[in-house]
Amino acid sequence: MKILLLAEHDNCHLNSATARTVSAASKLGGEVHVLIAGYRAKAAAEQAVKLSGVDLVLLAESVSLEHMLAEPTAALIVELSSQYDILMAPATANGKNIMPRVAALLDVMQISDVIEIVSPDTFKRPIYAGSAIQTLRSPERIKVLTVRTSAFDPADTDGSAGIQVIDFVPTATVSMHIESQINNSDRPELGAARIIIAGGRALGSKERFDEVILHFADKLSAAVGASRAAVDAGYAPNDWQIGQTGKVVAPDLYVACGISGAIQHLAGMKDSKVIVAINTDEDAPIFQIADYGLVANLFEAIPVIESALNLD
Amino acid sequence: MKVLVAVKQVIDSNVKIRVRQDKSGIDLANAKKSINPFDEIAVEEAVRLKEVGKIDEIVLVSIGPSQAQEAIRVGLAMGADRGILIQAEYPIEPLSVAKLLKAVIADELPQMVILGKQAIDDDCNQTGQMLAGLLDWGQATFAQSINLIEDVVEVTREVDGGLQTIRLNLPAIITTDLRLNEPRYVSLPGLMKAKKKRIDIKAVNGFGIDITPRLQIIETNEPPLRKSGIKVASAMELVEKLRNEAFVL
């Protein structure tokens, strides 16, 4: 069996979502080829060869692939697909954007957001915001999967695969990249962080979100998440949203501050190893899944926690 | 310019989902149904484009049982012009939906198709991308803003790490994200007035498209339960527990 895995990267750095998807691929068994589709992306390819479980890294470089737009990237994967039994990608924004297009071009059904590999043709995935888990078998000749990265640990980095450069000739393009506004910060990514501090509507303003949540997170070297309400209100950028239709995370510690815990939010964090909830409303649904609940005003509780940890 | 908007009727997002005891699926009986929230955002965006004179006609398409007309009615009350229901029983996989939409598009010839990025029932997030692939059109998923400029459309997308703006030639496929707009409230008189708008009902058999599901659902289970936690009395106790019991600090 041969597996083609589309890597998540920004040409310079391989995203941790790739290492997690490689570990899912290793559970399938078979030969794993990682595809770096990009432009001037050798640095990303050199990181991919180190992932254990990877047998070969394919490097396709073209200006048209620089931003991983769906049309050229899907065309490239389809071009390579005849040699593979499984095509997979992390369920990142890119993976979600590209893989269904690939599946349709190959006339196969995709399985989205795989959280468990039961066997090489049988998978588990959540439906209804994680309120149910479906076990599905795919009889398709080529299986197309996206992987929920929070459900798999990253592969180790003691591998030494080779790099094979492949040619890609783009066809007439229907889409064009104009600009990217990526929030640069030194904070860990949500998908890779050991600790996540998340804030909700109770923060009340962007200023207070920054003052309280960002301060707390930075002291713990944590990533920052937010509820939909906090993002909609403009306290936090869209890509911090945790939930059914936002990011799905499973850190060692998730601290929900002033988040009531709508099912759509819980869908994005309930597999965290330890969940802490701080909320003034003792009946808030977040307490039903919290390992440690503190009924308190977060503006009072967080400074006490910070000083107890000698973080100031 | 004509725009097609795909709408799906789903179990209302506030309904608590019950998994059947025999693991055969979700108990759908009597559950309140609504238009999929992302599709409602898609309809709203089309209506706003029509209100500023950038498009002329909005056609809604739904694929589902007779009851799915209710979702179309909501979209018509918001301001869409007419609807098409392709009558079929669930489950219908995204690939089949994309093929049926392609057939409707061959007939209606819209310049743009707007869909929700995902349905909140199966959470697949596939249909728009599949449709774009089948048509060989450009795609802009997870739209946060849409700017229609004659024969191109510029879309700002919600991506990991921030936002990305791309330009697509028309015709094109767009899928909506949460912050594209806030859908208007549909009043009862609005719903009544929408009853006069036309909904064409077509039988799925007439399309000659095989919609037999490809994937076999083996079973549907409740998610594993978390063991219940405790309430701590103070911030100090919380720190103590996280350090000495959970070992995460």
First vs last C-alpha separation in chain A? 54
pLDDT in tens, B145-193: 999 998 999 999 999 999 999 999 999 999 999 999 999 999 898 899 8
Is CATH 3.30.830.10 correct for A195-308? no
As a whole number of angstroms, the distance between CA B98 and CA B90 comes to 15
CA distances, A176 to each of B157, B167, B225 (Å): 13, 5, 45
CB contact residues (below 8 A), chain A span 1-30, against chain B: 8, 15
- Strand pairing partners for B85? B62, B201
pLDDT tens-place string over residues B85-122: 999 998 899 999 999 999 999 999 999 999 999 999 99
pLDDT recorded at residue B150? 86
- Spell out the domain ranges in chain A: 2-166, 195-308
Q: How far apart are CA A51 and CA A155, in angstroms?
A: 6
Cis peptide leading into B171, omega within 30 of 0? yes
Answer whether residue B65 shows pLDDT above 90. yes
∠ CA A40-A44-A47, rounded to 5°:
150
Nearest-by-Cβ selection for A308 from B130, B161, B235: B235
Chain segment A142-196, per-residue pLDDT in tens: 999 999 999 999 999 999 999 999 999 988 789 999 999 988 888 999 988 999 9
Q: Which residues contact A251 (CB under 8 A, 6 or more apart)?
A: A193, A194, A195, A196, A223, A272, A273
Q: Which residue of A lies nearest to B172 if distances are taken between CA atoms?
A: A174
Kindly tell me if the per-residue pLDDT of A310 is higher than 80.
no
pLDDT score of A312 more than 60? no
Sequence-ordered list of residues with C-beta below 8 angstroms from that of A224, at least 6 positions apart, any chain: A187, A190, A196, A197, A198, A199, A213, A214, A217, A236, A240
Considering only residues 33 to 62 of chain B, which have any Cβ-Cβ distance to chain A shorter than 8 Å? Answer: 38
How many alpha carbons lie under 13 Å from residue A40 in its C-beta half-sphere? 2
Nearest by CB to B165, from A178, A291, A309: name it: A178
Q: What is the pLDDT of residues A3-59, one digit of tens each?
A: 999 999 999 999 999 999 999 999 999 999 999 999 999 999 999 999 999 999 999
Instruction: Please give, one letter per residue, the 3-state secondary structure of B39-62.
Output: HHHHHHHHHHHHHCCCCCEEEEEE
Looking at the partner chain, which of B144, B162, B222 has a beta carbon nearest the beta carbon of A132?
B222
> Which residue in the block uniquely carries the two structure tokens 């399938």?
A28
**Looking at the complex, does the CB of residue A98 fall below 8 Å from at least one CB of chain B?**
yes
Prediction pTM value: 0.96
B86 and B207 Cβ atoms separated by less than 8 Å: yes
A311 touches B: beta carbon within 8 Å:
no
Centroid of chain to Cα B185: 18
d(CA B6, CA B99): 13
Locate A21 and state its tokens: 């998807």
Q: Write down the pLDDT at residue A276.
A: 98
Distances (CA, A) of A114 to A17, A21, A121, A150, B73: 13, 10, 12, 10, 35
- Decide if B89 contacts B65 (C-beta within 8 A): yes
Q: How far is B214 from chain A (nearest CA, A)?
A: 7
Give A2-166's CATH code, choosing from 3.40.47.10, 3.30.70.360, 3.40.50.620, 1.10.10.10.
3.40.50.620
Nearest to A149 by CA among A225, A222, A91: A91
Geometric angle at alpha carbon A168, from A166 and A171, rounded to 5° = 170
Query: What superfamily in CATH does domain B2-224 come from?
Result: HUPs (3.40.50.620)
Most B-contacting residue of A127, A220, A310 (CB-CB within 10 A), to test interface? A127
Domain edges within chain B: 2-224
Three-class SS state of B153: strand
A106 Ramachandran zone, left/alpha/beta (phi>0; psi -120 to 50)? alpha
Task: Work out the pLDDT band at A311, boundaries 50, 70, 90.
Answer: low
Q: Which of A12, A98, A101, A252 to mutate to test the interface with B (most CBs of B within 10 A)?
A: A101
Q: Rounded to whole angstroms, how far apart are CA atoms B197 and B111?
A: 22
